[in-house]
């Protein structure tokens, strides 16, 4: 079959969060674009990541609400879960969002969309079954997929990943999850709320990179709903075994414990999608953790860039992929060519992240431990608990709180929030860190009462409690009053 030749400004491999944002930016600036996608337009986030997970979480919350109204005087009832209808709700949400990521929309913007696998044939050419592309720049945005941990027997046992869990045949009677990370927490809690027994196993302690007191709140919340954690624990063997009368799995842990379940979900980290790209032919350096880039996302081949989950150390977030896209567009089309040494940095230390369980856990920047390692004694932390927030009290959702980590001069280095709305509240800290707003600025904004986000102002205000209400200021206030 003869191939169609293209010579374009930019060729993007992968139409997920990163690739789509770059394609739309470039096309709207009048650039010629070829966009390759081998599977569904929209990538992981739309089809098997953020969107379905947040949709099923909403179903879990609705079920949980029926069982937890007694604190408001509403008698709890046992929810009747129609799992097929839950799956239809999830698919409905995907379908509602899909047009924004669709081939039609991108063709409408002027992109050439090719629904095939693409790979490099040399340092300046990409090919697929039906096409051959030369471009001024190439962007690899092929994303990631669920890692398969090296556990004996896993390769011979049917298991679920984020690509299959949202279409699982029936509500799992007992869902065993390998991996106590964000996916394990979100889906573990949700399936428990929908009626499954859930066991989460991990080789490491859960949420180890978070503020320990905040991680504890979340773990205890899941445990109180009946999610069982077995951590840290090494799985020695996995095999197929009938669960009651149906198919199932059996896990043997290193200490001899055996756990039988109806379904196994593997959510133990992500592997960059690099196979099929023939990166050696392009002279692009990579290893199993991802593609090597500099801070401007340039690879070892000056014509080739990488963006999103496929970039080494970029830790799987849609908004990180979107940020990469924005920085690349700036660098490609808004930086004067002779000022090549000036570029918009895409690798930053203030990327927020959130786990959308109930309560939520969100963080940004350095943890207190990391800040102490980096800055020694030149740091100060302030905290505020939802127990002292009137809205949280009114809604009887007082678990958790906020911690801000800053230099002694008040520069915000990081923050963590656990509690209802943590993913929203962290945005204040993200805004502060992006714009150099110090603790003093966070103490001064006017917050509508009563809102949960008030804790940002209260925590920041507590930075000054000792100085404002000291003996010295009391004396000063006394003197000034005399002259009024
Ligand atoms: C269960 C789950 C929940 C998540 N929830 C959140 C969340 O709440 N918030 C958040 O920020 N992030 C979340 N994420 C992470 C988020 O989905 C990813 O960070 C994001 O999708 C990465 O975007 P990307 O463009 O790098 O890759 P992807 O979205 O994976 O897109 C890559 C695309 O490239 C295509 N492709 C690969 N190789 C080729 C090839 N050779 N030729 C052509 N096409 C190719 C793939 O088919 C894919 O469509 C979640 C992930 C999972 C798994």
| Binding site membership of 190 for ligand 1 (Cβ less than 6 Å) | no
Enclosing H/E stretch for 373 = helix 368-375
pLDDT at 403: 98
Residue 359, preceding bond cis, omega within 30 degrees?
yes
pLDDT in tens, 173-210: 999 999 999 999 999 999 999 999 999 999 999 999 99
| Binding site membership of 45 for ligand 1 (Cβ less than 6 Å) | yes
pLDDT at 281: 98
Pocket test for ligand 1, best of 13, 15, 34, 43 (most atoms within 8 A of CB): 43
pLDDT at 342: 72
| Binding site membership of 16 for ligand 1 (Cβ less than 6 Å) | yes
Of 269, 270, 327, 333, the C-alpha closest to 294 is 327
pLDDT at 79: 97
- Ligand 1 center–CA 309 separation, angstroms: 7
* pTM of the predicted model as reported, rounded to 2 decimal places: 0.96
Residue 97 buriedness (CB in 10 A; 0-12 / 13-18 / 19+) = middle
Average pLDDT, the chain: 96
Regions of the chain where pLDDT drops below 70: 337-341
pLDDT at 454: 98
Structure tokens at 111: 């992109």
pLDDT at 113: 98
pLDDT at 337: 67
Pocket test for ligand 1, best of 18, 46, 49, 305 (most atoms within 8 A of CB): 49
- Ligand 1 center–CA 15 separation, angstroms: 9
- Ligand 1 center–CA 14 separation, angstroms: 9
| Binding site membership of 118 for ligand 1 (Cβ less than 6 Å) | yes
- Ligand 1 center–CA 324 separation, angstroms: 13
Residue 358 buriedness (CB in 10 A; 0-12 / 13-18 / 19+) = buried
| Binding site membership of 127 for ligand 1 (Cβ less than 6 Å) | no
- Ligand 1 center–CA 72 separation, angstroms: 40
Of 347, 449, 436, 334, the C-alpha closest to 390 is 449
- Ligand 1 center–CA 343 separation, angstroms: 26
Give the integer Cα–Cα distance in Å for 8 and 3: 16
Tokens 């992006």, residue?
434
């Amino acid at each position: 079959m003869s191939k169609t030749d293209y010579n374009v400004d930019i060729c993007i491999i992968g139409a997920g969060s990163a690739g789509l944002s770059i394609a739309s930016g470039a096309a709207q600036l009048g650039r010629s674009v070829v966009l390759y996608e081998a599977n569904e337009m929209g990538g992981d986030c739309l089809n098997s990541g953020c969107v379905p997970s947040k949709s099923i979480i909403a179903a879990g919350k609705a079920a949980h609400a029926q069982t937890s109204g007694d604190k408001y005087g509403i008698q709890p009832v046992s929810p009747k879960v129609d799992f097929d209808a839950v799956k239809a709700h999830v698919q409905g949400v995907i379908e509602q969002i899909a047009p924004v990521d669709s081939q039609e929309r991108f063709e409408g913007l002027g992109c050439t969309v090719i629904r095939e696998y693409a790979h490099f044939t040399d340092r300046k050419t990409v090919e697929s079954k039906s096409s051959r592309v030369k471009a001024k720049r190439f962007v690899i945005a092929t994303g990631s997929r669920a890692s398969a941990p090296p556990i004996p027997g896993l390769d011979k046992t049917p298991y679920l990943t984020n690509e299959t869990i949202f279409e699982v045949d029936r509500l799992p009677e007992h869902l065993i999850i390998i991996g106590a990370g964000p996916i394990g927490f979100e889906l573990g809690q949700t399936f428990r709320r929908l009626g499954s027994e859930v066991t989460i196993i991990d080789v490491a302690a859960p949420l180890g990179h978070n503020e320990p007191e905040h991680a504890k709140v979340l773990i205890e919340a899941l445990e109180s709903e009946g999610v069982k954690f077995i951590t840290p624990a090494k799985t020695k063997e996995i095999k197929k075994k009938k669960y009651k009368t149906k198919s199932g799995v059996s896990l043997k842990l290193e200490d001899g414990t055996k756990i039988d379940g109806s379904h196994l979900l593997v959510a133990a980290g992500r592997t960059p999608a690099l196979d099929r790209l023939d990166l050696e032919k392009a002279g692009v350096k990579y290893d199993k953790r991802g593609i090597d880039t500099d801070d401007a996302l340039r690879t070892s081949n000056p014509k080739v860039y990488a963006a999103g989950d496929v970039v080494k150390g970029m830790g799987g977030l849609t908004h990180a992929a979107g940020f990469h896209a924005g920085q690349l567009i700036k660098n490609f089309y808004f930086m004067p060519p002779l000022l090549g040494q000036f570029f918009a940095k895409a690798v930053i230390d203030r990327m927020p992240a959130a786990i959308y369980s109930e309560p939520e856990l969100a963080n940004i920047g350095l943890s207190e431990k990391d800040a102490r390692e980096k800055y020694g004694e030149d740091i100060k932390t302030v905290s505020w608990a939802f127990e002292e927030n009137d809205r949280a009290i009114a809604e009887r959702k007082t678990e958790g709180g906020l911690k801000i980590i800053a230099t002694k001069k008040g520069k915000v280095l990081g923050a963590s929030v656990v509690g209802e709305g943590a993913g929203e509240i962290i945005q204040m800290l993200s805004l502060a860190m992006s714009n150099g707003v110090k603790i003093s600025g966070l103490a001064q904004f006017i917050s509508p009462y009563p809102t949960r986000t008030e804790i940002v102002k209260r925590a920041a205000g507590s930075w000054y409690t000792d100085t404002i209400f000291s003996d010295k200021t009391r004396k000063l206030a006394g003197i000034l009053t005399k002259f009024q």
